[in-house]
Structure 1
Amino acid sequence: MNTRPRSKRSGALDQLAAEGVGLWLDDYHRGRLTDGSLERLVADGLVGGVVSRPAAVARAVADTTAYRDQLNRLSNAVASAEERVYALIAEDARAACIALEPVFRATKGMHGWVSLGIAPRLTADAEAMVDHSKQLAEMVDRPNVMIRIPVADRGLAAAGDLLAHRVSVHVTSVFSVQRYAQAVDTYFRGLERATAGGHAASAVTSLVSLDVGHLNARVDALLDGSADPCATALREQAGVATARLVYHCYEESLGCPRWRSLVAGGARPQRLLWTSENAPESPRAALDRVERLIAWMTLHALPQAAFEAPDRREEFHGDTLSGEHGSARRVMDALGRAGIAVDSLARDLEVAAVERERAAWDKLLAGVQAG
């Protein structure tokens, strides 16, 4: 066990906690276990969840010895490269679930989750996604594991089936209010199917990720080519505006009769996780994102460096999302006048997200084969 003294929480992080904001570690890999950093972040009350991404694991496989012993064992087991990858990330997830179990128990399942993904080659096949997800969840065999499913292609169909089978789901790569509303409906239908099958609504939960970084980058690139005189002022506005509209949709969903029926049976809210998927962020960029997206019951996924940055924020300025849907709609209207419809970009962004995940997965497969 690591014996380094616990660091003190900053006033800024206490402010986030007071606003109901949770922080997750976004670049988790086995090195975070062996060096004790995950344990410290959990003990300090900084991290309440973990995202395991193939890009982070691939870097650790290539640059460290953290996976060497397991890879040596697996090389004698006549397993495919993909089976080896699943074995690596399942062991990582199991250890992280154990580290976060006190948080999971203390918060009655609101926090303390670990998210990991399946092979992105499966996105067009809902049945295959369900099968691989169930097998991976069984390999981890912990109550606080959830499987990451991209919204693209057949992702929502798979997510609904998994929830009905009591597998918690992290829906990723959402870029529009329309897609978010579909993810909410998928969660409700999944819970309704689970309860109709005799399972408790509290048996599963779900997250939805909004990828603010890539949304801003795509829209800003289009604004750079716009002749609209207001285009410059709209830069870096699309992500926040979409987040504000999504959060308004989230609040409305928690007031509808379907949700009231589900929550009476013990259902947990489908949490919103703000992130920048598969794009390493600097600590400053990650903390800037946090400052722009603060609201009750939301989550932020941050790289480890953001928790350790010497220039970590001394102060955040309270809720930046609630009640801002009117201003967000005005931003969307202005973007429309500049020739940019964010909802129509969503599908292209979803496909690009899957391709980034596929490239990271392929790099991990190659590293496992070489190891």
Structure 2
Amino acid sequence: MITRPRSKRSGVLDQLRAEGVGLWLDDYHRGRLADGSLERLVADGLVGGVISRPAAVARAMADTSAYQDQLSRLPGAAAAEERVYALLAEDARAACTALEPVFRETKGMHGWVSLGIAPRLAANAQAMADHSRRLAEMVDRPNVLIRIPVVDRGLAAAGDVLAHGVGVHVTSVYSVQRYAQAVDVYFRGLERAAADGHAVSAAASLVSLDIGHLNARTDALLDGSADPRAAALRGQAGVAVARLVYRRYEESLGCPHWRYLVADGARPQRLLWTSENAPESPRAALNRVERLIAWMTLHAIPQQALEALELREGFHGDTLSGEHGAACRVLDAYGWAGIVLDSLAHELETAAIERERAAWDELLAATQAE
């Protein structure tokens, strides 16, 4: 038997796995299926989950013919939003199938697919919950997560969706306070699911922190600061908030509330670091990975970054655990510079939903143009 030499990329992946870190594909669309790249990424162990974003799908519709056949079969009189849901659901079904072996082998810890609902619903919790459940039914796979932003009534909707036994990906979190609310929603949603006879193991959850936009916004504010200490704070906000959030994550898994739920079959709510709806260079994405490493966490990065792993010399172990004190000092320094990160979170949440609306509008237009 011929033994293939291990690539440098394999060694880097082993390092990440040893630290309990998983990688997700952040720019998934149907073209990744047509060219076989998703299948290769899964087979090589590079990805354990994917995120379908409207912006990536719209780009694929413009650059490839992957969606033309399905669009030609959709009723011409169908509303644009219904056409989008049909496209996203078919994408998600195919990705769920590709990731099913991972989902099965890891007993549901990996192998998930995340897709979102129309952002116009953000102020209406009931509408968000209804659309989320309907989209999950359209996909009809056990390893699907419906993406819901924290802005406006998002957390209320997330709780209702979880209570119906449907997995939820909570997005656009920028503060420890918001993360703590997401944890509470998960716990209460699981309790409601169990009370209604749903298996709590089916109602998985993921919370993503948008590190890219948090750093970009704070760095822009630092550029206008007269404080001589401002330059040293550039690029530090994301790591500081991630460290405090990770500590809160560890605390949540040690509380009696969680011990009761896990005994009933619940899975831990995972943390994912990302840069939502923002083109990110492979170098920037992998630098983010290097700075945010801790057990049971995930990174969503674009395909080019996954393929560029072999260019890295390696990673240097856990960067988040036990760093609460250092993170608090960084946040204090931001306060001295006139930047209070908790106060900035609401502004960032609003900007995130506006970016999502713009991407969704682009996708709506693309489906009508075909």
In the superposition, the TM-score normalised over structure 1's length comes to 0.97
Partner of 1:28: 28
**1:312, CA displacement in angstroms?**
2.8
Partner of 1:200: 199
**1:195, CA displacement in angstroms?**
1.2
Q: Do the aligned residues in 1 keep the contact of 2:225 with 2:337 (CA within 8 Å)?
A: yes
Partner of 1:144: 143
Partner of 1:330: 329
Q: Do the aligned residues in 1 keep the contact of 2:16 with 2:22 (CA within 8 Å)?
A: yes
Matched, 1:284 2:290: no
Partner of 1:265: 264
Partner of 1:84: 83
Of stretches 101-110 and 5-14 in structure 1, the one that deviates more from structure 2 is 5-14
**1:147, CA displacement in angstroms?**
0.1
**1:77, CA displacement in angstroms?**
4.5
Give me the whole-angstrom Cα distance separating, in 2, the residues matched to 1:219 and 1:311. Answer: 31
Counterpart of 1:65, as a letter, is S
Partner of 2:302: 303
**1:201, CA displacement in angstroms?**
1.9
**1:199, CA displacement in angstroms?**
2.2
Give me the whole-angstrom Cα distance separating, in 2, the residues matched to 1:106 and 1:29. Answer: 24
**1:311, CA displacement in angstroms?**
5.8
**1:198, CA displacement in angstroms?**
2.2
Give me the whole-angstrom Cα distance separating, in 1, the residues matched to 2:301 and 2:210. Answer: 12
In the TM superposition, what are the counterparts of 1:21-100 in structure 2 within 5 Å?
21-74=21-74, 76-100=75-99
Give me the whole-angstrom Cα distance separating, in 2, the residues matched to 1:45 and 1:312. Answer: 17
**1:310, CA displacement in angstroms?**
7.2
Percent identity (aligned) = 81
Partner of 1:358: 357
Partner of 2:319: 320
Misfit runs of 4+, over 2 Å: 5-10, 309-312
Unaligned runs of 5+ in 2: none
Partner of 2:17: 17
Residue 311 to residue 14, structure 1, CA distance change in 2 (3 Å): closer
Partner of 1:124: 123
**1:226, CA displacement in angstroms?**
1.1
Partner of 2:245: 246
Q: Do the aligned residues in 1 keep the contact of 2:12 with 2:309 (CA within 8 Å)?
A: no
Give me the whole-angstrom Cα distance separating, in 1, the residues matched to 2:194 and 2:332. Answer: 41
Q: Do the aligned residues in 2 keep the contact of 1:175 with 1:349 (CA within 8 Å)?
A: yes
What SS does the corresponding residue of 2:221 show, helix, strand or coil? Answer: helix
What SS does the corresponding residue of 1:320 show, helix, strand or coil? Answer: coil
What SS does the corresponding residue of 1:295 show, helix, strand or coil? Answer: coil
Q: Do the aligned residues in 1 keep the contact of 2:201 with 2:266 (CA within 8 Å)?
A: yes
Give me the whole-angstrom Cα distance separating, in 2, the residues matched to 1:309 and 1:18. Answer: 20
**1:7, CA displacement in angstroms?**
8.3
Give me the whole-angstrom Cα distance separating, in 2, the residues matched to 1:115 and 1:310. Answer: 23
Give me the whole-angstrom Cα distance separating, in 1, the residues matched to 2:306 and 2:237. Answer: 26
Partner of 1:188: 187
**1:6, CA displacement in angstroms?**
11
Q: How big is the alpha-carbon RMSD for the aligned residues of Structure 1 and Structure 2?
A: 1.3
Q: Do the aligned residues in 1 keep the contact of 2:165 with 2:199 (CA within 8 Å)?
A: no
Residue 46 to residue 190, structure 1, CA distance change in 2 (3 Å): same
How many equivalent residue pairs? Answer: 366
1:197-217 deviations in Å (ceiling 9; x for gaps): 222221211000000000001
**1:12, CA displacement in angstroms?**
1.2
Q: Do the aligned residues in 2 keep the contact of 1:116 with 1:147 (CA within 8 Å)?
A: yes
Give me the whole-angstrom Cα distance separating, in 1, the residues matched to 2:67 and 2:365. Answer: 14
In the superposition, the TM-score normalised over structure 2's length comes to 0.97
Q: Do the aligned residues in 1 keep the contact of 2:173 with 2:179 (CA within 8 Å)?
A: yes
Q: Do the aligned residues in 2 keep the contact of 1:10 with 1:314 (CA within 8 Å)?
A: no
Partner of 1:174: 173
